[in-house]
Structure 1
Amino acid sequence: MKYILILLLISSLIACDKNDDDSPQEPVSQLPPETTTGENTFGCLINGEPFVVRNTSNQVAIFQNGGLFIGGQLTSNGFLDNVNMFISESNIGAPIMENSIYQLNSDTIPKGEYFSERLNCRFNTSTNYSGSIEILKLDTVNYIISGKFHFQANSNSCTEIINVTEGRFDLQYIP
């Protein structure tokens, strides 16, 4: 009888193995890795919360006639959220090139933008709330654009300030 109790005790201890996968992950570790190979990834933190667009039909990169538009959108709990960036060679006064950083400091172009359907607010960069987009790779043969971004944005209709940080994208763009 004593041996049966010991076996039951050992069996129950083995069955109570702690699963480390249940512990919460750091928000940045939930973002896609920074790649430059056209993996079709888009992600950032919005006020510290992960925003990761896994569905490629909800990611966009268009580079045409000197203008660049990059964005991603998610639907969560029935509400749409999207993050977009716009830069234009005519507004920045130089060609858009690889290994370059561009300021997002306007509410027209160049700008960063966050829209929250739940809040019913559009948040834009401005001279007071700004950021940047860094183009790490611009492959005009294979139509790949990769980079990092961050920005702060405010809204005319909402009082909250949005902090978009740790942004990264690796997309095949539409020429």
Structure 2
Amino acid sequence: MKTLLLSLLVILVFTAANCRKQNDLEPNGLPPATQEGKNTLGFLLNGESWTPRGFNGTANLSLYYDPTFRGGVFNVSCYNRETGSSNRQLLGFFADSVQQGQKLQFGKKNFGVEFYDNYQINCDFSSSDKLVTAEGYCEITKIDKVNGIFSGKFEFTLKKENCKAIKITEGRFDLKF
């Protein structure tokens, strides 16, 4: 009888934890847009929910921010890797001259983005590549140097001949540095 009660208690705890985790996501499957340093990132990739997941020996989500180098540099990088597979997608975006909240556009302040996708052979996208058309923005909504919070939102469209376009919408990040 004790074993049965213990088993039911364990099932109840895991079910409640799973419900809480699912409730932490918005209906579109993305984490909420917060500015509290929750170490979250998500976006819609061609209309499908995308969040960092998997493990290849390195963190699947990272932020580098140095306010003292080149007027303030940042680099957000993340990947999504299928469990038990070498298939993965990687996203990185970066800029310099960033000390406070602002909207960054391609071609200004050395702002760039890169997207690599194992699903599309020979279809790596880099905004510095002359064969890639890049449109969009990254808006830094909060830099809190005291509490180490770096938050914002982004949208990118990347196109390259003979490749399926990459359309990233409703992007948001809330990271600690």
> TM-score, length-normalised on structure 2?
0.69
* 1:86 positional shift: 1.0
**C-alpha RMSD over aligned residues:** 2.7
The equivalent residue for 1:101 is 103
Summarize the Cα distance change of 1:130–1:28 in structure 2 as closer, same or farther, 3 Å threshold.
farther
1:137 lines up with 2:142 in the alignment: yes
1:36 deviation in Å?
A: 0.4
Unaligned runs of 5+ in 1: 1-26, 90-94
Aligned counterparts of 1:76 and 1:54: Cα–Cα separation in 2? 8
**2:75 counterpart of 1:69:** yes
Contact 1:135 1:145 in 2 (8 A): yes
The structure with the larger Rg is 1
Q: Secondary structure at the match of 2:124?
A: strand
1:117 maps to 2:122: no
Within 1, Cα distance between the matches of 2:46 and 2:169? 8
Tell me: CA distance 1:54–1:170, structure 2 relative to 1, closer, same or farther (3 Å): farther
Tell me the percent identity: 31
Structure 2: which 5+ runs fail to align?
1-25
2:152 pairs with 1:163: no
Map Cα deviations across residues 83-115 of structure 1 (whole Å, 9 max, x no partner).
Answer: 1111112xxxxx4312x1111348xx3112211
Matches of 1:54 and 1:73, distance apart in 2: 7
Q: How far apart, in 1, do the equivalents of 2:88 and 2:80 lie? A: 6
1:125 and 1:154 in contact (8 A); partners too: no
Structure 1 length normalisation: TM-score?
A: 0.70
49-58 or 140-149, which deviates more = 49-58
What CA distance in whole angstroms lies between the structure 2 residues aligned with 1:61 and 1:155? 27
4+ aligned runs moved over 2 Å, structure 1: 54-57, 124-129
